[in-house]
Amino acid sequence: MYDQLVTELIDIVGKDNVLTAMSDRITHSYDATQEKHLPDVVVYAASTEEVSQVVKIANRLKMPLLPRGAGSGFTGGTLPVRGGIVLVLTKMDRIIDIDTENLTAEVEPGVVTAELQRQVEKLGLFYPPDPASKEFSTLGGNVAECAGGPRCVKYGVTKDYVLGLEVVTPTGDIIRTGGRTLKNVVGYDLTKLFVGSEGTLGIATKIILKLLPKPAAKKTMLVQFETIDGAAKSVSAIIGAKIIPTTLEFMDAATINCIRDVCTIPLPENCQAVLIIEVDGDAQLLDKQVEQILAVIKPFGILHTKIAVTDEESEEIWQVRRIVSPSLRKINPDKFNEDIVVPRSKVPDMIRALEKIAADYGVVIVNFGHAGDGNIHVNVMVDMKEHGMEAKIEKVMDEIFGAAVKLRGAISGEHGIGTSKAKYMNMELDIATISYMQRIKAALDPNNILNPGKIFLESYPQPPAAVSIQEPRK
Amino acid sequence: MKKSKNKSLRDFEKVIRECVKCGVCQAHCPTYQVIKKEGAVARGKIALAAALLDGETGLEERLQQDISMCLMCGSCVSKCPNKVPTHGIVGAIRREITDNQGLSLIGKGVSTLLGSPVLMKTLGKSGAILAPLLLKKVPDTSGLRLRFPSLIMKDRTIPHIAFRNLFDRVPEFIEGRADKPVVGFFAGCAITYVYPEIGEMMVAILQRMGVSVYVPRSQQCCGIPALSSGNGKLVEQLAETNVGAFRKKEVRHIITACASCNGGIGEYYETMTADYHDFTGKVIDFSVFLKQQGLFAELAGMDKWPERIKVTYHDPCHLKIQGITKEPRELLRALPNVDFVEMESASTCCGLGGTFSVYHYEESKAIGARKIPGLIESGAELIATACPGCIIQLQDIINHAGLQVRAGHILELIAEALK
Ligand SMILES: Cc1cc2nc3c(=O)[nH]c(=O)nc-3n(C[C@H](O)[C@H](O)[C@H](O)COP(=O)(O)OP(=O)(O)OC[C@H]3O[C@@H](n4cnc5c(N)ncnc54)[C@H](O)[C@@H]3O)c2cc1C
Ligand code: SF4
Ligand code: SF4
């Protein structure tokens, strides 16, 4: 049967694009979660038609099928936990068109986010969503995970820019959702349903995106605080003053400790928190905005403020933010990286809750992230070789997610659920809601072939089987 | 068996485990960017290396193909958050392959090259096919033989092998001023045999500074092409010879004008399990050396020529990954005869990659071709660089694109300015 499958796949995509060797399966067994699950076969598709045909085969054979972009996901979305076919879309990487009159772009799913950004910026346009992985993640992956980034405070996340999609459904049909217009109320909003569906409801094969005019200028500043509370209150104060900066990133003391040695901007010992604030827009208005922000945050214990004048200085400030992730390993070998989100006014409460959890359990928790939209990257740094750590980590996670939900937040802001967070879904959503989602999945993917085992834990109650009313009574 | 001076795959185990599978390397790996398959990127190769160590796979054919898809350019390494040395790891796997199956198998991945009629026309004008006859002038151990085996490189345009090589043109030792140090010049194959005039210019510039110059005759190929083809034994032999060659005279610095050689005798020898640190510590790229010696300031002080040539710069990978990106540009900006313009994609790989282009000429060209739009946009008449390997490849790419741009060495421009 395996040989038959391979022959059929080769007929569709050609010999070079069907990979079956052990080494091929190994190179498609992971994503950024670092977990490893071997697929049975790997297929690289080049067109919607090919995708559709491959899906039809998988559906006929009831074989798991895993769409894969750049494999940079943090929650295991593309991991073949039950084997099957990994369908890679990186070769579908054409920018089909950039419409400068209607401010839209149509792309294939394998286009790398930053590549689109570079191309539209050449035309004076702007595609705002900027996940830290933008230089390598694909737009298909961004759509599937509804990726966000620092700029989302002001500009929103991926879902705010997807106008329409071409989707191959789990049964292999090709459908179109939305379109090229900003307004569209014809039928259900399937576009929104697909965005963030983590490759479980269909495979996006074309994406129509909304673009904006490129902001004329921007200004970046780095502000050092005496206390984390001061920084957290500043965030609320800025938003409270009805100023929406482009980005509002924060780092706590533990984060600063990790980067102090490798950072080109001096961060003294008494600096307990940092905010990176960027504003963009008309050049003349920027200085005024900066002044306004500085006035609003003045009462909150500022140690030092650096305002970038040149592009290089602004780049230097952003470099401080970018070195954070890779520097964390210095504390402890194992990192549990979560991206909870709370209403932005609750950031100070969430930070306090995290400090308490760290103290109660005696673990190091490093926090940084997008304070402006309440999205905090919580990194619990431990050594799993330590006795009893596994059990402890479970409890710590429960507490962290519990605290976020209690503050009316969510257990994931951008990274998605995948396999990593499936077991925490019910902390945030009630059974009725989860089962509603599962019924959608069951209706659209009757054989459960697309990315099975993701988002929903098996243990959730299965929807009751549909009963036909015409069924004769026995 | 005698323990090799090259690191084994096992020696890399710790760093292999440090790959966190983030995928950042995808943005920087030239082979991935044209092939778009995970097997081509650093992350994929590290996964294979780990699987080899864990015995999950053997040196199967598909693994060998993936491992052959690497320029060993190191672009991934400098951007990797954990600095996983993929180029070194790939080298170690290639050595395992040759140790297991002999050298010839490496050539298995040789892609059949398609003849291009259009190109044949340009060929006559812009270059010549390296004739086997001319290759006779080059030693058996030279990387040139590995890099440009004429038989399978049908449509590559490359320069002639010079009639008189560098060693026929400059003396082995040139006495300088007594108050100035003695410096060594490591020329490398490409400068010695293909571009001896660049070597002569280097020596003349050094002479003008008053230093004594030592160009030992016994120096050989740096070993980068051998390293790239997995010939560990040859690398060892060459390293031993080269280190020995510069022992005969007390030199303060060993200057290179070829980025690959710099990466070979500087960086790579440094990783070998032999005591070459005294040697490797002296290796210095000409641009860094000339800056230290105050030549930049002198050039900047000269009157700008009324007629200047518009020049852009290509970063050779072997300099880029050592962070030598500013000096060559400062040099070009300082030159009175040059109008320097930056180009987009200045730092992307030319695609030569040791012996990569031999086995994967089509991919190699595709990688290089990514530089063309930026080059055209810059409007430059000359693309200068600091590595003769890059010059050969860039000129080939330019010829294929049908442009009127010349690829050349920065030293040519300095020599012109100092005339
Ligand atoms: C260093 C680093 C930084 C990151 N920073 C951020 C950040 O700031 N913000 C953020 O939101 N995320 C971030 N991420 C996570 C990740 O990059 C995003 O989730 C990204 O959107 C994934 O894109 P990808 O192409 O890698 O998708 P993959 O990982 O390949 O796939 C992700 C999911 O999408 C599905 N999928 C992929 N393509 C399609 C398609 N065409 N149709 C349907 N389903 C598809 C897959 O099945 C899978 O479920 C980061 C990751 C890393 C490693
Ligand atoms: S950038 Fe480094 S750590 Fe990240 S996947 Fe590539 S090799 Fe691994
Ligand atoms: S050394 Fe160069 S070609 Fe090889 S994996 Fe790294 S970036 Fe890619």
Q: Which of B102, B132, B153 is the last residue of a domain?
A: B102
Give a yes or no: residue B123 inside a domain: no
Q: Could you count the other beta carbons within 10 Å of the beta carbon of residue B415?
A: 18
Q: Do A21 and B27 touch (CB under 8 A)?
A: no
Q: What is the mean pLDDT of residues A329-343?
A: 85
Among A292-306, A403-417, B134-148, the range scoring the smallest mean pLDDT is B134-148
Q: What is the mean pLDDT of residues B307-330?
A: 95
Q: How many independent structural domains does chain B possess?
A: 2
Using the predicted structure, report yes or no on whether residue A234 has a pLDDT greater than 90.
yes
pLDDT tens digits for range A93-125: 999 999 999 999 999 999 999 999 999 999 999
CATH of domain A2-88: 3.30.43.10
DSSP assignments along B19-33, one per residue: -----GGGGT-HHHH
pLDDT of residue B118: 34
pLDDT tens digits for range B332-358: 999 999 999 999 999 999 998 877 877
Q: What is the mean pLDDT of residues A328-352?
A: 86
CATH of domain A217-325: 3.30.70.2190
pLDDT of residue A112: 98
Burial code of A49-58, b = ≥16 C-beta within 10 A, e = fewer? Answer: ebbbbbbbbb
Give a yes or no: residue B248 inside a domain: no
pLDDT of residue B139: 65
Among A24-38, A396-410, B198-212, B227-241, the range scoring the smallest mean pLDDT is B227-241
Q: What is the mean pLDDT of residues A197-207?
A: 97
Task: Select the residue of B21, B37, B57 nearest A44 (Cβ to Cβ).
Answer: B37
CATH of domain A95-213: 3.30.465.10
Three-state SS for B409?
strand
Q: Are A24 and A42 in contact (CB under 8 A)?
A: yes
Tokens of A91: 């070769």
**Which residues make beta-bridge pairs with A81?**
A83
Residues A332-426, CATH architecture? 2-Layer Sandwich (3.30)
pLDDT of residue B331: 96
CA dist., res. B264 & res. B284, Å (int): 12
Residue extents of the structural domains in chain A: 2-88, 95-213, 217-325, 332-426
pLDDT of residue A330: 74
Q: Which of B85, B102, B119 is the last residue of a domain?
A: B102
Using the predicted structure, report yes or no on whether residue A156 has a pLDDT greater than 80.
yes
**Choice from B76, B77, B350 to test ligand 3 binding pocket (greatest atom count within 8 A of CB):** B76
- The more confident residue out of A282 and A463 is A282
* pTM of the shown model: 0.88
Tokens of A387: 């006795």
Give a yes or no: residue B181 inside a domain: no
A interface toward B at CB cutoff 8 Å? 19, 21-24, 26-34, 44, 70-72, 88, 90-91, 93, 110, 112, 114, 133, 135-137, 325-326, 329
DSSP type of residue A126 = E
Chain B hits for A70, Cβ within 8 Å: 23, 26
Task: Select the residue of B23, B61, B63 nearest A136 (Cβ to Cβ).
Answer: B23
Give a yes or no: residue B232 inside a domain: no
Domain span holding position B378: 303-417
Which amino acid makes up residue B113?
L
- The finding on whether A204 has its CB within 6 A of some atom of ligand 1 is yes
Q: Which of B102, B135, B156 is the last residue of a domain?
A: B102
Q: Are A23 and A410 in contact (CB under 8 A)?
A: no
Using the predicted structure, report yes or no on whether residue B45 has a pLDDT greater than 90.
yes
pLDDT of residue B119: 33
- The finding on whether A370 has its CB within 6 A of some atom of ligand 1 is no
> Strand runs (DSSP E) across B89-178, as ranges?
173-174
> What is the residue-averaged pLDDT of chain B?
86
pLDDT of residue B142: 67
**Choice from B80, B83, B89, B321 to test ligand 2 binding pocket (greatest atom count within 8 A of CB):** B80
Do the domains spanning A217-325 and A332-426 agree at the CATH topology level?
Answer: yes
Burial code of A355-379, b = ≥16 C-beta within 10 A, e = fewer? Answer: bebbeeeebebbbbbbbbbbbbbbb
Angstrom distances, CA of residue B339 to CA of B221, B343, B372: 34, 13, 19
